[in-house]
Amino acid sequence: MKYIDPKNFRLKDHIDWKAQAENMKEIAGIVGELVKETDWKDVAAAAGKDAKGLKKRITHEVNLLKNMSPEEVKDLVLNGEKQLGKLYANGKMATVRREWRGIKDTGVDFYEWTRMWGMLLATFSKDLVPALMGATHYRWMISYFCCHSFMDKNTMGLRGRALKMHHELIYAIFRYVAENLVLLMKADEKVGNSTDLSKKIVLFDEMTMSQIMAGFPDLIGIPYQLMPVFLLSEIDQLACMPYIDAIESYGLPSDTCPVPSSECGAVVVDALPHMGACFISSSMPCDGSVMASSYTSRRFKDLPTYHLAFPVRYEDESIMDAAVKDIKGCIKFIEDNTGAKWNWDAYFAAMKRFNEETKYELQKWEINQTPYPQLIGPCYELFRKWNYEMDGGLDPRIISTFKKVDKLMLKAYENKDEAWRGKMKYRAIVWSIPAHYYANFSNWAANCWGVDILVEMESLNFTKPLETEDKEEALKDLSRLYERMVMRRHTNGGYDHVVTELWRQCEAWNVDFVLMYQHVSCKNMATVQGLFEDQARERGIKLLWCSHDLMDPRTVSRKDMRSEFNEFMRTVMKAEPVDPSLLDFEDDTTW
Amino acid sequence: MQDLKHLIKFENLLDDAANDLVKEAQAEGQYAIGYTCYHMPEVLLNVDNCFSTRMRAPRTGSIDISTYYMSNYTCEFARALLERGIEGGYEYLDGVAGVDACSAMNRCYEHLEVLECNKKPHFFVTHTDVPYKVEDYNVDQVATQMRLRLLDVMHEKLGIDVSDEAIRKAVEEHNELCRVVTEIGNFRKLENPPITGYEFHVISLVSYCCPTAKILPLLKETLEEIKTRKPDPKPWFRARVAIVGSEVDDLDLTRLLEEAGAMVVADRYCYGSFPGREEIRLNDDEDIVKQIARHYMMTSECPRYMAEEKIKQRRDTADRLAKEYGADGIIFEQMKYCDFWAFERPLASHILTEEYGWPTLSIDRSYNVHNSGQLRTRFQAFVEALEIKRIRRNAQEQEVVG
Ligand code: SF4
Ligand code: SF4
């Protein structure tokens, strides 16, 4: 059967046209007011300034070209540009133009660009009307229009096989995004209102992985706040600010993590679509997330809710019984609320796939631990999170992405390719939680300083193959997996999981330093910062502390993050930048 | 009102974690087990030759070293305890019975271990898992944890008798303490109570921080004294309030409120008497540890419990206590940088106001409020608002009667 079952997209919508007309009227009113209140002189002046800027930039680039030696021109034509900082302009949302990667790679890039457009158009046309109307109901939908820019910034500086691998990955990420968006808008009461589809949907807390849905092949599990909040914040750095502001003015202190606070803010500003047969709220990954579910369940009182809550001291097998019973309770809850029956065959089939995907993941690690790491950078990180861990083997198409990437990666390794051609100098791993609003930070680090971010803490969660024969054992494995999920494996169950584990990983990956993200409001990580310092000093391991506030760039901007990084590279590593044009530029408003 | 005979002694006992009664008990060969959270059944720490002492960091000053370890965005209570631990303030303990309920406190316990804040060879820190719901299997889970991670450890490290008989004996003594404290607390229901909120706060705290056997006789005596104590003819306070929220072991908070004219009639906060001073009723059929686990889980008011029924229970309890104790309003408080209460406070205080009809003051506060001018002003304003409300209500009632 095709994944996602095409029938789901064909289920009947029950659009309330009168309500849509009302909504459009309201929007027309807002647009009218905007038009009225706009100072058109200012707009004209800004356009003039832009035109001047454009002229200046073109002249500058032509002059650069003129001053180049024939070898340099040849290199530019064949291998692409080297000063990527030129692509940014102060106050702009997008880069000034796309990157020139040399003839061949620009061709590859353009092909992938069109392929992505093709996929997006094909996916949205599966039920275009609700998807389009969704953009008039939900501000966050608009942010997804910048997905191509997201693709560009995550593949910046890449050439050859590395570029191809990253495009494969990002294609899969956006297919996941697009399909979920179409389903969300189709089922949402305010938009498509497809009751038949809604009955098949089980909503999950955004951080809860989908593996449990593998036993319900006829149902669709959607991580509820993923599209309006979590993933969105990786695409558009400004997207979560309205949520955070809303919940803080409701009374939530500003020291809480932006993940749960944005979720609650989205509830307050009514940014979450409403649909589904039931809701699985979860205690994962941390204290703040536990609390966010009380806001969601209050907002959607008509949605039956199950709290899937695994033990925190997960190494303690004596509590396994409670974890398994909780999963069983969850399965029964889904059965009761949807009428579907748990299907072991479907579950085992998906988990076999997941196990195979895990093997491919491990192969990536193996290669990255060698002196010739291949697959590094944000696409790998994002794909792993969404298409591997969150999808959890449900989507059979992911295996073919894994296969294609694996083939390219092995070839690249044989040829001793450099992930960022001619740029790689230092080996590092990321520890702690990365900034969502700077999802492409590792790309910048590679392009600017030649730093290979070989792996992130969040990639190193759980690699034990899941049981695919014995049913009781399978439930235990599923519990183990959930207990060690995204942001949970390291931050919960004792400091050993995060502090001691880092020293183990430093050895395995043979690093020059550790990029220690300091997510200022993550209490789980903040509470071990002194131990990190003490023990790193004892072991002679260099830590590059880089603060951020996960989804709120107002606390620490991208520029501030870069400054901390630059400072460390200059003073501690005594390094020279590979691309000085990237040392300092403005991107406070860039997607 | 005349001063309570033991009040100064009680206050002195609260000046130090290792107070005189703790030292006395230890000199007699008993073991002191420190704990913080209500998730840890206090009664299990009072088995055989052990006694429980709820950890505090009275007179906390700078918390710089613990801030270095745990950053400045984390719970001040957890940091204050760690600071005290690093200063050597918990060297007297023989063990710490920890629960992994919130990350801040869990890390605090871990630091006590890693930084070797206690050098006694038998010293231990346990970490027990706490569930998020109260299903039958969760009760089993807690009972198993208590046996494996607490009682077995106490037996192994300190040679404690953890038999059912020993546990039953501890429950009996605990229940007696609960009866006495509850009876004293009940006086707060009276229109003109013979005890102040501050005095009760002191009494409640000593009952947690001192060995039960040592403090019980003094509390009994105090109860008898209060029974015949004559309150001033006219109540001294201008409004009656219930406090709801996170951990409070700072007498200054109650003092500040009283100075603003508010009598604290109900203490629904961690380290207060709700929950904590309810008797444990045992039957003869079920495993005793399981019964105890269930008691604590059912009575817990901690926002760590995320299940719907527990969320409702918390709001209902606040409403019930405020009614039973004749409060005019509710103060919903939160320890600064505590994630659980940070999320609970805005929503619950909104609901208590909008749906339960309670005038509510919502605040966040430091572990030690000292003489916070900001809090004082907010308390005064709240008391005034409650007073005006009462005057209006009385006037309306008189109109109706007239
Ligand atoms: S970043 Fe930290 S505080 Fe935020 S959701 Fe993740 S674990 Fe929780
Ligand atoms: S006040 Fe909050 S953060 Fe602090 S120990 Fe209690 S529950 Fe934990």
Q: Which domain holds residue B314?
A: 232-401
- Region class of B277: left (phi > 0), else alpha (psi between -120 and 50), else beta: alpha
How far is the alpha carbon of B138 from chain A, nearest alpha carbon, in Å?
Answer: 6
> Using CA atoms, how far apart are residues A394 and A4, in angstroms rounded to an integer?
10
Burial class (CB in 10 A: 0-12, 13-18, 19+), A254: middle
Q: Which one-letter amino acid corresponds to residue A257?
A: C
Q: Which of B81, B339, B378 is most worth mutating to test chain A (most A CB atoms within 10 A of its CB)?
A: B339
Q: Is residue A19 part of a domain?
A: yes
Q: Which ligand is nearest to the CA of A287?
A: 1
Between the alpha carbon of residue A513 and those of residues A450, A518, B209, the distances in Å are 13, 15, 46
* Residue B194, token pair as written in the block: 């013979």
The dihedral sign for the CA sequence A327, A331, A334, A336: negative
In sequence order, what E strands does A225-330 have? 278-282, 305-308
pLDDT at site B350: 97
Residue B130 contacts residue B101 (beta carbons within 8 Å): yes
Write out pLDDT tens, residues A335-386.
999 999 999 999 999 999 999 999 999 999 999 999 999 999 999 989 999 9
C-alpha of residue A68 to centroid of ligand 2, in Å? 63
- Output the DSSP codes for B133-199: S--HHHHHHHHHHIIIIIIHHHHHHH----SHHHHHHHHHHHHHHHHHHHHHHHGGGSSS-SS-HHH
Q: Ligand 2, residue B247: give the atom nearest the CA.
A: 1
pTM: 0.95
pLDDT at site A321: 96
Find, among A220, A125, A111, the residue nearest to A167 by Cα: A111
Residue A341 three-state SS: coil
Q: Do A329 and B304 touch (CB under 8 A)?
A: no
Q: Is residue B81 part of a domain?
A: no
Number of A:B CB contacts under 8 A? 154
The number of helix segments (H) and strand segments (E) in chain A equals: 24, 8
Residue A384 is given by DSSP the state: I
Does residue A265's CB lie within 6 angstroms of at least one atom of ligand 1? no
Least confident of A256-260, A351-355, A487-491: A487-491
Does residue B338's CB lie within 6 angstroms of at least one atom of ligand 2? yes
Does residue A285's CB lie within 6 angstroms of at least one atom of ligand 1? yes
CB atoms within 10 A of CB A131: 23
Q: Which ligand is nearest to the CA of A256?
A: 1
Write out pLDDT tens, residues B115-158.
999 999 999 999 999 999 999 999 999 999 999 999 999 999 99
Cα torsion A359, A360, A362, A366 to 10°: value is 130
A283 and chain B in contact, CB less than 8 A: yes
Residue B187 contacts residue B193 (beta carbons within 8 Å): yes
| Average pLDDT score over residue span A264-273 | 96
Between the alpha carbon of residue B175 and those of residues A506, B181, B207, B226, the distances in Å are 53, 10, 12, 20
Residue A421 is given by DSSP the state: T
Give me chain A's average pLDDT, please.
Answer: 94
Residue B277 contacts residue B252 (beta carbons within 8 Å): no
A260 and chain B in contact, CB less than 8 A: yes
Residue A46 three-state SS: helix
Q: Is residue A294 part of a domain?
A: yes
Does residue B78's CB lie within 6 angstroms of at least one atom of ligand 2? yes
% of residues, chain A, pLDDT over 90:
86
Residue B348 contacts residue B302 (beta carbons within 8 Å): no
Whether pLDDT at A548 is above 90 = yes
Q: Is residue B210 part of a domain?
A: no
Q: Is residue A516 part of a domain?
A: no
> Using CA atoms, how far apart are residues A105 and A161, in angstroms rounded to an integer?
9
Q: Which one-letter amino acid corresponds to residue A84?
A: L
Q: At what angle do helices A241-250 and B339-354 cross, to 10 degrees?
A: 60
Domain count, chain A: 1
Which among B100, B308, B362 has CB closest to A305? B308
> Using CA atoms, how far apart are residues B241 and B350, in angstroms rounded to an integer?
17
**What is the CATH number for B312?**
3.40.50.11900
> Using CA atoms, how far apart are residues B202 and B195, in angstroms rounded to an integer?
11
Q: Which of A281, A291, A522 is most worth mutating to test chain B (most B CB atoms within 10 A of its CB)?
A: A291
Residue A43 three-state SS: helix
How far is the alpha carbon of B99 from chain A, nearest alpha carbon, in Å?
Answer: 10
pLDDT at site B402: 66
> Using CA atoms, how far apart are residues A204 and B75, in angstroms rounded to an integer?
29
> Using CA atoms, how far apart are residues A405 and A168, in angstroms rounded to an integer?
7
Find, among B308, B327, B178, B181, the residue nearest to B244 by Cα: B327
**What is the CATH number for A209?**
3.40.50.11890
Q: Which residues contact B110 (CB under 8 A, 6 or more apart)?
A: A494, A495, B125, B127
pLDDT at site A2: 84
Q: Ligand 2, residue B335: give the atom nearest the CA.
A: 1
> Using CA atoms, how far apart are residues A46 and A350, in angstroms rounded to an integer?
54
If one compares A145 and B42, the residue with the highest pLDDT of the two is B42
C-alpha of residue A290 to centroid of ligand 1, in Å? 11
* Residue B391, token pair as written in the block: 């005057």
C-alpha of residue B61 to centroid of ligand 1, in Å? 30
Burial class (CB in 10 A: 0-12, 13-18, 19+), A251: middle
Three-class secondary structure assignment of A106-164: HHHHHHHHHHHHHHHHHHHHHHHHHHHHHHHHCHHHHHHHHHHHHHHHHHCCCCHHHHH
Q: At what angle do helices B136-145 and B288-299 cross, to 10 degrees?
A: 120
Considering all CA atoms of chain A, what is the largest pairwise distance in Å, rounded to the nearest integer?
A: 73
| Average pLDDT score over residue span A408-433 | 95
Between the alpha carbon of residue B90 and those of residues A409, B87, B94, B120, the distances in Å are 55, 8, 9, 11
Q: Which domain holds residue A27?
A: 6-41+102-343
> What order of strands is seen across the sheet that includes strand A513-519?
A451-456, A426-431, A513-519, A543-548
* Residue A173, token pair as written in the block: 């990420």
Burial readout A504-532 (b: 16 or more C-beta within 10 A, e: otherwise): ebbeebebbbbbbbbbbbbbbbbbbbbbb
- Opening angle at CA B78, ends B130 and A283, nearest 5: 35
Does residue B35's CB lie within 6 angstroms of at least one atom of ligand 2? no
**H helix or E strand, kind and range, residue A518:** strand A513-519
Q: Give chain B's residues under pLDDT 70.
A: 402
Q: Which one-letter amino acid corresponds to residue A254?
A: S
Q: Do A528 and B362 touch (CB under 8 A)?
A: no
Structure confidence at residue A487 as a pLDDT band (50, 70, 90): confident
For residue A519, the cross-strand partners are A548
Q: Do A529 and B69 touch (CB under 8 A)?
A: yes
> Using CA atoms, how far apart are residues A412 and A112, in angstroms rounded to an integer?
19
Residue A113 contacts residue A151 (beta carbons within 8 Å): yes
- Opening angle at CA B169, ends B163 and B174, nearest 5: 125
pLDDT at site B320: 98
CA A24 to chain centre: 32
How far is the alpha carbon of B356 from chain A, nearest alpha carbon, in Å?
Answer: 16
Domain count, chain B: 1
Of all protein residues, the one whose alpha carbon is nearest to atom 6 of ligand 1 is A487
For residue B100, the cross-strand partners are B129
Residues of B in contact with A520 (CB under 8 A): 71, 73
Which among A257, A307, A527 has CB closest to B307? A307
Residue A449 contacts residue A420 (beta carbons within 8 Å): no
* Residue A61, token pair as written in the block: 């680039």
> What order of strands is seen across the sheet that includes strand A220-223?
A220-223, A201-204, A278-282, A305-308
- By CA distance, what is A299's nearest residue in B? B347
Residue whose pair of structure tokens reads 């832009």 in the numeric block: A50
| Average pLDDT score over residue span A254-263 | 94
Whether pLDDT at A122 is above 90 = yes
* ipTM of predicted complex: 0.94
A225 and chain B in contact, CB less than 8 A: no
Q: Is residue B383 part of a domain?
A: yes
